[in-house]
Structure 1
């Protein structure tokens, strides 16, 4: 448990002042430990967001039944959902949102670039909702889980490289999608 506390502390410290270059943030831990820490942390936070989303839906502010994932699961076979969610989305989103990060390594504005890409990654997911006035007003809350995972993906990208951010993104999506696919046809 202490190992994971140290790794999480280093993630948080890095997020206070992101940088490109020195890749020693997790040098004394293996990638599996770092990935597990990031995965568990994002899902613990997601649990809290789920409670908040339930309150938002109960209040009638946003209808989560209109979410694009619902339509995806209704319209596509399981293999297509797995390919889209676990392979294509991580590959394309990482190339777009994390790939360019190292291009700004000599820029004095890098910290802002890092956060713009993480927030942009989250905000692009607002397109999963039917756009209404409430969705726009609540957008920062509705895409908070994606912003959080975008921050972790940014750290992984800068410390381990683009391939590892793609792999972590695929793992994250797989943990969400595969169980849903397994229970999709349950009565």
Structure 2
């Protein structure tokens, strides 16, 4: 039994700014699957813009200062993920390519559509096989990557008309939502030269960002989440390059 569950239509977009800005916090108190409105819905572009302003404002005015205070208090090293990269590589990688790839991997499947869940499962399985068998062997590695693309794309095409969500996904959604944000943040610990318990608060910006992007993906859609990620990274990188 697949126990399929249909998700009700998207809720109306709030009409006032206060309702828009408090909506994510109400959602985080009780995460649940919602049908994205898409950017073409009336008021959706304004909705996205306000949520993006909230993301960047809280990130820069609250979360990053807390992270920097922690870094200073314990004399922790700065991230070294982009050491030696020129401005063009920084902007292309951190502002354009990074957000697109991260949103596809972390948020594309978060709405629970069967085609996206299949593609995500195939991708994870393919990456695991590549790490286990494909590294250092061009033929095996290429075969695994090609098979992963074929299996992911084939399943996506086969399931493209299914709009219901698996029952297990709906029931576990709150856990999956928070796990997604935590894993997204923890992944960025690799930006630091040494991973310790003291380094955990250094990824608070990524945790906040993961929570916001998860909400935007579910409330409006994947493309708006990518757009917010790009804007957030662009503003942060611009400030870092300008003022250090």
TM over 0.5: yes
Q: State the match for 2:80 in structure 1.
A: 68
Distance 1:7 1:140, change over 3 A: farther
Q: Quote the Cα distance in structure 2 between the aligned partners of 1:178 and 1:93.
A: 20
Report how far residue 177 of structure 1 moved.
1.1
Distance 1:101 1:18, change over 3 A: same
Higher-Rg member (1/2)? 2
Report the 3-state secondary structure (helix = DSSP H, G, I; strand = E; otherwise coil) of the residue aligned with 1:75: coil
**Aligned residue pairs: how many?**
169
Q: Per-residue displacement from partner, 1:105-149 (whole Å, max 9, x unpaired)?
A: 542000000111100000000000112xxx321243121111111
Report the 3-state secondary structure (helix = DSSP H, G, I; strand = E; otherwise coil) of the residue aligned with 1:119: helix
Report the 3-state secondary structure (helix = DSSP H, G, I; strand = E; otherwise coil) of the residue aligned with 2:74: helix
TM-score, with structure 1 as normaliser: 0.80
TM-score, with structure 2 as normaliser: 0.62
1:95 paired with 2:75, answer no
Q: Quote the Cα distance in structure 1 between the aligned partners of 2:239 and 2:182.
A: 27
1:32 paired with 2:38, answer no
Q: Quote the Cα distance in structure 1 between the aligned partners of 2:242 and 2:199.
A: 30
Distance 1:13 1:100, change over 3 A: same
Report how far residue 96 of structure 1 moved.
0.8
Distance 1:81 1:21, change over 3 A: same
Q: State the match for 1:115 in structure 2.
A: 178
Q: Which runs of 5+ in 1 are unaligned?
A: none
Equivalent residues of 1:121, 1:150 under 8 A apart:
yes
Report the 3-state secondary structure (helix = DSSP H, G, I; strand = E; otherwise coil) of the residue aligned with 1:68: coil
The equivalent position to 1:50 in structure 2, one of 45, 59, 68, is 68
Distance 1:77 1:99, change over 3 A: same
Q: State the match for 1:77 in structure 2.
A: 86
Equivalent residues of 1:8, 1:38 under 8 A apart:
no
Q: Which has the higher helix share?
A: 1
Report the 3-state secondary structure (helix = DSSP H, G, I; strand = E; otherwise coil) of the residue aligned with 1:100: coil
The equivalent position to 1:176 in structure 2, one of 205, 217, 236, is 236
Q: Which runs of 5+ in 2 are unaligned?
A: 1-15, 114-164
Deviates more, 1:88-97 or 1:102-111: 102-111
Q: Quote the Cα distance in structure 1 between the aligned partners of 2:66 and 2:215.
A: 22
Equivalent residues of 2:36, 2:221 under 8 A apart:
no
Equivalent residues of 1:7, 1:37 under 8 A apart:
no
